[in-house]
Structure 1
Amino acid sequence: MQKYAIHREFLHYANGLPQDTLARRLRCTSATIRAWLTGRQQPPWWAAEILRLQEMELLDIARQMGYAKALPRLGIVRGEIIELHRPRARPAPSIDRPQSVTEFPEPGLMQA
Protein backbone atom coordinates (compact mmCIF):
# COMPACT_ATOMS: atom_id res chain seq x y z
CA MET A 1 0.00 0.00 0.00
CA GLN A 2 1.30 3.43 -0.85
CA LYS A 3 2.09 5.87 1.92
CA TYR A 4 1.39 9.12 0.09
CA ALA A 5 -1.23 10.24 -2.40
CA ILE A 6 -0.34 11.22 -5.92
CA HIS A 7 -0.08 15.00 -5.70
CA ARG A 8 -1.93 15.59 -8.96
CA GLU A 9 -4.78 13.35 -7.89
CA PHE A 10 -5.10 15.23 -4.60
CA LEU A 11 -5.11 18.57 -6.47
CA HIS A 12 -7.79 17.25 -8.83
CA TYR A 13 -10.20 16.39 -6.03
CA ALA A 14 -9.32 19.51 -4.02
CA ASN A 15 -9.80 21.83 -7.01
CA GLY A 16 -12.39 24.53 -6.39
CA LEU A 17 -12.85 23.82 -2.70
CA PRO A 18 -11.83 26.50 -0.19
CA GLN A 19 -9.04 25.54 2.19
CA ASP A 20 -11.24 25.77 5.28
CA THR A 21 -13.78 23.41 3.67
CA LEU A 22 -11.01 20.94 2.83
CA ALA A 23 -9.68 21.17 6.37
CA ARG A 24 -13.13 20.47 7.79
CA ARG A 25 -13.73 17.52 5.42
CA LEU A 26 -10.33 15.95 6.10
CA ARG A 27 -10.31 16.89 9.81
CA CYS A 28 -6.95 18.65 9.80
CA THR A 29 -5.71 22.23 10.08
CA SER A 30 -5.80 24.74 7.25
CA ALA A 31 -1.99 25.06 7.56
CA THR A 32 -1.69 21.35 6.75
CA ILE A 33 -4.00 21.78 3.75
CA ARG A 34 -1.93 24.74 2.57
CA ALA A 35 1.26 22.66 2.84
CA TRP A 36 -0.33 19.84 0.83
CA LEU A 37 -1.64 22.18 -1.87
CA THR A 38 1.66 24.04 -2.30
CA GLY A 39 3.66 20.81 -2.36
CA ARG A 40 5.74 21.47 0.77
CA GLN A 41 4.41 18.21 2.20
CA GLN A 42 3.01 15.19 0.45
CA PRO A 43 -0.62 14.45 1.28
CA PRO A 44 -1.27 11.03 2.84
CA TRP A 45 -2.97 8.40 0.72
CA TRP A 46 -6.23 8.63 2.66
CA ALA A 47 -6.70 12.37 1.92
CA ALA A 48 -7.16 11.90 -1.83
CA GLU A 49 -9.16 8.74 -1.21
CA ILE A 50 -11.64 10.49 1.11
CA LEU A 51 -12.12 13.34 -1.38
CA ARG A 52 -12.62 10.84 -4.21
CA LEU A 53 -15.21 8.87 -2.24
CA GLN A 54 -17.06 12.04 -1.22
CA GLU A 55 -17.22 13.15 -4.85
CA MET A 56 -18.50 9.73 -5.91
CA GLU A 57 -21.15 9.88 -3.21
CA LEU A 58 -22.32 13.34 -4.30
CA LEU A 59 -22.50 12.25 -7.95
CA ASP A 60 -24.46 9.14 -6.98
CA ILE A 61 -26.93 11.18 -4.93
CA ALA A 62 -27.35 13.62 -7.84
CA ARG A 63 -27.91 10.72 -10.23
CA GLN A 64 -30.57 9.20 -7.95
CA MET A 65 -32.35 12.55 -7.69
CA GLY A 66 -32.29 13.06 -11.46
CA TYR A 67 -29.71 15.85 -11.49
CA ALA A 68 -27.03 13.87 -13.30
CA LYS A 69 -27.64 15.65 -16.60
CA ALA A 70 -27.41 19.06 -14.94
CA LEU A 71 -23.96 18.43 -13.47
CA PRO A 72 -21.06 19.88 -15.46
CA ARG A 73 -19.04 17.46 -17.51
CA LEU A 74 -15.26 17.66 -17.76
CA GLY A 75 -13.73 17.51 -21.19
CA ILE A 76 -12.11 19.39 -24.00
CA VAL A 77 -14.14 22.32 -25.24
CA ARG A 78 -14.40 22.67 -29.00
CA GLY A 79 -16.06 25.34 -31.07
CA GLU A 80 -18.60 22.92 -32.52
CA ILE A 81 -19.96 22.05 -29.09
CA ILE A 82 -20.48 25.53 -27.70
CA GLU A 83 -23.88 27.06 -28.31
CA LEU A 84 -24.09 30.68 -27.36
CA HIS A 85 -27.30 31.97 -25.87
CA ARG A 86 -29.14 34.14 -28.34
CA PRO A 87 -31.14 36.90 -26.71
CA ARG A 88 -34.84 36.88 -27.45
CA ALA A 89 -36.16 39.54 -29.77
CA ARG A 90 -37.76 42.23 -27.67
CA PRO A 91 -41.09 43.57 -28.77
CA ALA A 92 -41.05 47.09 -30.18
CA PRO A 93 -42.03 49.70 -27.63
CA SER A 94 -45.58 50.86 -27.83
CA ILE A 95 -46.06 54.28 -29.49
CA ASP A 96 -49.30 54.98 -27.67
CA ARG A 97 -48.41 57.39 -24.90
CA PRO A 98 -50.83 58.70 -22.34
CA GLN A 99 -52.18 62.18 -22.92
CA SER A 100 -50.59 64.93 -20.88
CA VAL A 101 -52.73 66.63 -18.29
CA THR A 102 -51.46 70.04 -19.37
CA GLU A 103 -52.27 71.03 -22.92
CA PHE A 104 -49.33 72.50 -24.80
CA PRO A 105 -49.94 75.09 -27.53
CA GLU A 106 -48.90 74.39 -31.08
CA PRO A 107 -45.33 75.38 -31.96
CA GLY A 108 -45.05 79.04 -32.93
CA LEU A 109 -48.13 80.09 -31.00
CA MET A 110 -46.35 80.57 -27.67
CA GLN A 111 -47.19 83.83 -25.93
CA ALA A 112 -44.92 85.52 -23.47
Structure 2
Amino acid sequence: MRFPNLRYGNNFELQYYCQGKSIKVIAKRLRRTERTISDWLNCKKKMPWWVCEVLRLQDKEHEEMMRQMFWATHKTRAKLGVVSTDAKIIPFIKKEKKELTEEEKLFTLNREPLSAPAPGGQAAASHIPKAKVL
Protein backbone atom coordinates (compact mmCIF):
# COMPACT_ATOMS: atom_id res chain seq x y z
CA MET A 1 0.00 0.00 0.00
CA ARG A 2 1.24 3.46 -0.82
CA PHE A 3 -1.06 5.24 1.61
CA PRO A 4 0.36 7.35 4.46
CA ASN A 5 -1.60 5.60 7.20
CA LEU A 6 -1.49 1.81 6.87
CA ARG A 7 -4.70 1.37 8.86
CA TYR A 8 -6.81 2.77 6.02
CA GLY A 9 -7.20 1.81 2.38
CA ASN A 10 -7.07 3.87 -0.80
CA ASN A 11 -10.49 4.93 -2.10
CA PHE A 12 -9.27 5.17 -5.69
CA GLU A 13 -8.24 1.53 -5.59
CA LEU A 14 -11.72 0.61 -4.36
CA GLN A 15 -13.24 2.59 -7.23
CA TYR A 16 -11.03 0.64 -9.64
CA TYR A 17 -12.26 -2.72 -8.36
CA CYS A 18 -15.89 -1.50 -8.37
CA GLN A 19 -15.91 -0.60 -12.08
CA GLY A 20 -18.79 -2.28 -13.86
CA LYS A 21 -20.20 -3.81 -10.69
CA SER A 22 -23.12 -2.65 -8.61
CA ILE A 23 -22.75 -1.66 -4.98
CA LYS A 24 -24.98 -4.60 -4.08
CA VAL A 25 -22.53 -7.09 -5.63
CA ILE A 26 -19.51 -5.51 -3.94
CA ALA A 27 -21.34 -5.47 -0.60
CA LYS A 28 -22.11 -9.17 -0.94
CA ARG A 29 -18.48 -9.98 -1.84
CA LEU A 30 -17.15 -8.06 1.17
CA ARG A 31 -19.98 -9.09 3.50
CA ARG A 32 -20.81 -5.49 4.36
CA THR A 33 -23.93 -3.37 3.91
CA GLU A 34 -24.57 -1.33 0.80
CA ARG A 35 -24.57 1.83 2.91
CA THR A 36 -21.05 1.08 4.15
CA ILE A 37 -19.77 0.51 0.61
CA SER A 38 -21.34 3.73 -0.67
CA ASP A 39 -19.84 5.65 2.28
CA TRP A 40 -16.40 4.26 1.41
CA LEU A 41 -16.82 5.13 -2.26
CA ASN A 42 -17.99 8.68 -1.48
CA CYS A 43 -15.14 9.19 1.06
CA LYS A 44 -17.62 9.77 3.90
CA LYS A 45 -15.94 7.10 6.03
CA LYS A 46 -12.42 5.77 6.07
CA MET A 47 -12.02 2.35 4.56
CA PRO A 48 -10.11 -0.46 6.32
CA TRP A 49 -6.85 -1.58 4.72
CA TRP A 50 -8.05 -5.12 4.00
CA VAL A 51 -10.90 -4.14 1.63
CA CYS A 52 -8.76 -3.61 -1.46
CA GLU A 53 -6.59 -6.58 -0.54
CA VAL A 54 -9.62 -8.89 -0.49
CA LEU A 55 -10.95 -7.52 -3.78
CA ARG A 56 -7.52 -7.86 -5.40
CA LEU A 57 -7.20 -11.48 -4.25
CA GLN A 58 -10.70 -12.34 -5.46
CA ASP A 59 -9.94 -10.72 -8.82
CA LYS A 60 -6.67 -12.61 -9.24
CA GLU A 61 -8.29 -15.88 -8.20
CA HIS A 62 -11.07 -15.39 -10.75
CA GLU A 63 -8.53 -14.54 -13.46
CA GLU A 64 -6.49 -17.66 -12.69
CA MET A 65 -9.62 -19.84 -12.70
CA MET A 66 -10.61 -18.48 -16.13
CA ARG A 67 -7.09 -19.08 -17.44
CA GLN A 68 -7.17 -22.69 -16.22
CA MET A 69 -10.50 -23.22 -17.96
CA PHE A 70 -9.02 -21.85 -21.22
CA TRP A 71 -11.19 -18.74 -21.24
CA ALA A 72 -9.98 -15.51 -22.73
CA THR A 73 -8.06 -13.57 -20.11
CA HIS A 74 -9.03 -10.07 -21.26
CA LYS A 75 -10.35 -7.67 -18.68
CA THR A 76 -13.55 -5.71 -18.99
CA ARG A 77 -12.07 -2.67 -17.26
CA ALA A 78 -10.78 0.15 -19.38
CA LYS A 79 -7.04 0.15 -19.76
CA LEU A 80 -5.76 3.67 -20.20
CA GLY A 81 -2.38 4.50 -21.60
CA VAL A 82 -0.34 6.95 -23.60
CA VAL A 83 -1.09 7.02 -27.32
CA SER A 84 1.97 6.39 -29.44
CA THR A 85 2.88 8.43 -32.53
CA ASP A 86 2.05 5.58 -34.91
CA ALA A 87 -1.64 5.60 -33.92
CA LYS A 88 -4.06 6.01 -36.82
CA ILE A 89 -6.37 9.00 -36.59
CA ILE A 90 -9.62 8.59 -38.49
CA PRO A 91 -11.03 11.94 -39.62
CA PHE A 92 -14.71 12.71 -39.24
CA ILE A 93 -16.35 12.77 -42.66
CA LYS A 94 -19.52 14.78 -43.10
CA LYS A 95 -22.19 13.29 -45.31
CA GLU A 96 -22.84 15.37 -48.37
CA LYS A 97 -26.41 16.43 -49.01
CA LYS A 98 -27.92 14.61 -51.93
CA GLU A 99 -29.23 16.84 -54.70
CA LEU A 100 -32.89 16.14 -55.44
CA THR A 101 -34.08 15.40 -58.96
CA GLU A 102 -36.82 17.48 -60.57
CA GLU A 103 -39.41 14.77 -59.90
CA GLU A 104 -38.48 14.57 -56.21
CA LYS A 105 -38.67 18.36 -55.92
CA LEU A 106 -42.14 18.43 -57.43
CA PHE A 107 -43.28 15.55 -55.25
CA THR A 108 -42.11 17.19 -52.03
CA LEU A 109 -43.55 20.60 -52.93
CA ASN A 110 -47.00 19.32 -53.97
CA ARG A 111 -47.55 17.01 -51.03
CA GLU A 112 -50.64 17.66 -48.95
CA PRO A 113 -50.24 18.17 -45.18
CA LEU A 114 -50.87 15.02 -43.16
CA SER A 115 -52.95 16.72 -40.47
CA ALA A 116 -56.71 16.25 -40.24
CA PRO A 117 -59.01 19.11 -41.29
CA ALA A 118 -59.88 21.64 -38.62
CA PRO A 119 -63.43 21.70 -37.19
CA GLY A 120 -64.32 24.74 -39.33
CA GLY A 121 -63.87 22.72 -42.51
CA GLN A 122 -60.55 24.35 -43.41
CA ALA A 123 -57.26 22.52 -43.44
CA ALA A 124 -55.17 22.90 -40.28
CA ALA A 125 -52.13 24.00 -42.27
CA SER A 126 -53.97 26.36 -44.61
CA HIS A 127 -51.42 29.10 -43.96
CA ILE A 128 -48.77 27.11 -45.89
CA PRO A 129 -48.69 28.24 -49.53
CA LYS A 130 -48.78 25.52 -52.15
CA ALA A 131 -46.09 25.44 -54.80
CA LYS A 132 -46.96 25.88 -58.42
CA VAL A 133 -46.39 22.96 -60.77
CA LEU A 134 -44.07 23.85 -63.59
TM-score with structure 2 setting the length? 0.52
Structure 2, unmatched stretches of 5+, are 89-134
What is the count of residue pairs matched by the alignment?
Answer: 80
Aligned ranges for residues 36-51 of structure 1 at < 5 Å? 36-51=40-55
Structure 1, unmatched stretches of 5+, are 81-112
Structure having greater relative contact order (Cα 8 Å, sep ≥ 6)? 1
Instruction: Give 2:10's aligned residue.
Output: 6
TM-score with structure 1 setting the length? 0.61
Q: Percent identity?
A: 35
- After superposition, what is the alpha-carbon deviation per residue over 1:80-110, rounded to whole angstroms, capped at 9, x for unaligned? 4xxxxxxxxxxxxxxxxxxxxxxxxxxxxxx
Farther off after superposition, 48-57 or 67-76: 67-76
Distance between the aligned counterparts of 2:75 and 2:28, measured in 1?
24
RMSD: 2.2
What amino acid does structure 2 have at the position aligned with 1:8?
A: F
CA separation of 1:71 and 1:22: change in aligned 2, threshold 3 A: closer
- In the alignment, does 2:81 pair up with 1:76? yes
Once the 2 structures are TM-superposed, how far is the Cα of residue 37 of structure 1 from its aligned partner?
0.8
Moved over 3 A (4+): 68-73, 75-80
